[in-house]
Amino acid sequence: MSSVFANVVRAPEDPILGVTVAYHKDQSPNKLNLGVGAYRTEEGKPLVLNVVKKAEQMLVNDQSRVKEYLPIVGLADFNKLSAKLIFGADSPAIQENRVATVQCLSGTGSLRVGGEFLARHYHEHTVYIPQPTWGNHPKIFTLAGLSVKTYRYYNPETRGLDFEGMLEDLGSAPLGAIVLLHACAHNPTGVDPTIEQWEQIRQLMRSKSLLPFFDSAYQGFASGSLDADAQSVRIFVADGGECLAAQSYAKNMGLYGERVGALSIVCKTADVASKVESQLKLVIRPMYSSPPLHGASIVAAILKDGDLYNEWTLELKAMADRIISMRQELFNALQAKETPGDWSHIVKQIGMFTFTGLNSEQVTFMTNEYHIYLTSDGRISMAGLSSRTVPHLADAIHAAVTGKA
């Protein structure tokens, strides 16, 4: 008796998660996984922040806590504190109650809920995403019911921002189109606009009534400063206009598997914000009914306690600083080897990832000869590096570039 699913075709591995699958199959003691976007310690181990352990202990010790369902929009404290974190405590939008915030399933869930809301309630169904961008962005928005187009972002020649191309493409987008922007630490390139460039982007977008949708996955994790990493979002909120922001606590609190995130929609008036929230509930209810309790409770505990918050900012800065120092060490190692080419982009780029400029053949060579795993576009996770493994990576890059194994 054959299965009714006999005609189901085997799907290809996710290109990023597939790298990890291949890594786990490799028996080499020197193998190195630079594909996954998760922080690792100098010893190559996952990190649970001390402040997270403290918050969890507080939750465990609180005998009054129960496991009841959260409301559809999530934990009220979490939502309020998340909006404050990204928009700033003194944000007029928050003070005027013009922000609708809902707890979602990390960044992915926040983008999906936002995308479905826009598909139902916004007049323009085209979303522009940067070229390149995180591999999940086009799939999320397409399935949410939006049509996806791209704008130029990265210049492979300079390994920096194609600012002219970006302005040109946004300038020719239809009035009112949605534009996805990485708030900071652009994934996969690590290339961000300067604050002056952000201001030009803002002026252009507002003049064409383009709707900004920020994806903020790395606040505080990029520069080590929560405020600096939110500047791009805040200049769009400061002009009184509307925008959306998806937040994730995966990276900056190390809460990857807890799936904690928030979607905030900044509106023109408090009345509009309250109507928007009512419609967000109708998107969420048939999707997953209500969000999980544990991760949001950890975040709320940390954000509302002054001591825990300060401790978090220190641990966050330590993570950001370690990544910045790995950039410097890798750059120094390639300089010392006199590896052909200009590698200064490694130290100029910011955040978890470096877009090395290596091509797919060079990546395959590094995997086959050096057991180093990265995505075929040459993106490496700096967080997966340590002082111990930098020389091995530098050897592999040098060999891949010079063709001498």
Radius of gyration of the chain (CA): 22
Beta bridge partners of 372: 32
Q: Are 155 and 161 in contact (CB under 8 A)?
A: yes
pLDDT value, residue 336: 96
The encoded tokens of residue 20 equal 């990890």
The encoded tokens of residue 135 equal 């591999």
How far lies 77's CA from each of 29, 73, 82, in Å? Answer: 46, 11, 8
Residues labelled catalytic: 134, 215, 251
pTM of the complete model beyond 0.75: yes
pLDDT value, residue 404: 67
pLDDT value, residue 15: 80
Beta bridge partners of 99: 266
Q: Which residues contact 354 (CB under 8 A, 6 or more apart)?
A: 190, 327, 330, 345, 346, 379, 380, 382
> Would you say how long the chain is, in residues?
405
- Three-class SS state of 393: helix
Q: Are 101 and 247 in contact (CB under 8 A)?
A: no
Rounded-to-integer distance, Cα 140 and Cα 150, Å: 14
Rounded-to-integer distance, Cα 382 and Cα 396, Å: 15
pLDDT per residue of the chain (405 residues) written in tens, 0 to 9? 899 999 999 998 888 778 888 999 999 999 999 988 899 999 989 999 999 999 999 999 999 999 999 999 999 999 999 999 999 999 999 999 999 999 999 999 999 999 999 999 999 999 999 999 999 999 999 999 999 999 999 999 999 999 999 999 999 999 999 999 999 999 999 999 999 999 999 999 999 999 999 999 999 999 999 999 999 999 999 999 999 999 999 999 999 999 999 999 999 999 999 999 999 999 999 999 999 999 999 999 999 999 999 999 999 999 999 999 999 999 999 999 999 999 999 999 999 999 999 999 999 999 999 999 999 999 999 999 999 999 999 999 999 999 865
The encoded tokens of residue 4 equal 């009714």
Q: Are 82 and 264 in contact (CB under 8 A)?
A: yes
In eight-state DSSP terms, residue 386 is -
- Three-class SS state of 193: coil
